[in-house]
Amino acid sequence: MITTSTVEWLPGRTVTLRHLRGHRSPAVLLAHGAGVDQDHPLQVAVRDAIAEAGFPVVTFNYPYKEEGRGRPDRADVLLDVHGRVAGHVRELHGRVALVGRSMGGRLATMLAAEPYPYSGVIALAYPLHPIGKPEILRIEHLPLVRTEVLMVIGDRDPMCTMELYDEHVRDLPLIETHVIADGDHSFRVRKSSGRTNEEAFAEVMAAVIGFLEHLEQQAEA
């Protein structure tokens, strides 16, 4: 069952949340990428797979999507809203893991570089650099992240060149990496890979659920 609520982040300005209940911990706050919203089919597929595993899931829209604008808000606004929603989820559920795709995953890691008690972070298709601009690396905050992080990346992602990822990210002590062979930014694979997109997505979600179960076991230890 999906329930809907709102969180006010400025007087008179709210963002919409969708909640799926679950009996396990931590709860998951799932953030969307720059070009989609919380109701995009890929976002919904990730949400539903996590919920089916028993973890509570909350999704939300960043303000620009909530208000029908195409261009993302400034980073400080995105972070402020993301953090406010995370605080709301923590009040409801206690432990919170941040999960996000592309831009949402990057913002999740940025929040986890601040002194806030997140249980873990999962970044799906981390946007290491803009397409065609590998010199602009989005890595400054990653050594400051204070919790465990799972990065799930495709080795054909034009926003995450594997050589640069291996050089700057893979060996950071709190980061675990799962590579989807032949996956692009949406984890789609070519027919020549010998796999279907459905099989690649199943691998993504197996890695996600496995990491959430690891976080769950940590709390029980």
**CATH (domain of 52):** 3.40.50.1820
In tens, the pLDDT along 46-81 reads 999 999 999 999 999 999 999 999 999 999 999 999
User: Does this model's pTM top 0.85?
Assistant: yes
- On average, the pLDDT of the chain sits at 96
- Is the pLDDT at 21 greater than 70? The verdict is yes
Q: Model confidence at 23, in pLDDT bands (50, 70, 90)? A: very high
Position 166 scores a pLDDT of: 97
Long-range own/partner contacts, residues 63-67 (CB < 8 A, 24 or more apart): 63/9, 63/13, 63/15, 65/32, 65/36, 65/37, 65/38, 66/14, 66/15, 66/16
C-alpha 181: how far from its chain's center? 20
On the question of pLDDT at 96 being above 70, the answer is yes
Query: Which band of pLDDT confidence, cut at 50, 70 and 90, is reported for residue 168?
Result: very high
- Domain housing 107: 2-220
pLDDT reading at 221 higher than 80: no
pLDDT band, residue 38 (cuts 50/70/90): very high
Tokens of 220: 């029980």
Q: Is the pLDDT of residue 1 over 90?
A: no
- Return the pLDDT at 114: 87
Total structural domains within the chain: 1
For residue 205, the surrounding DSSP H or E stretch is helix 197-220
Q: Can you give the pLDDT at residue 117? A: 77
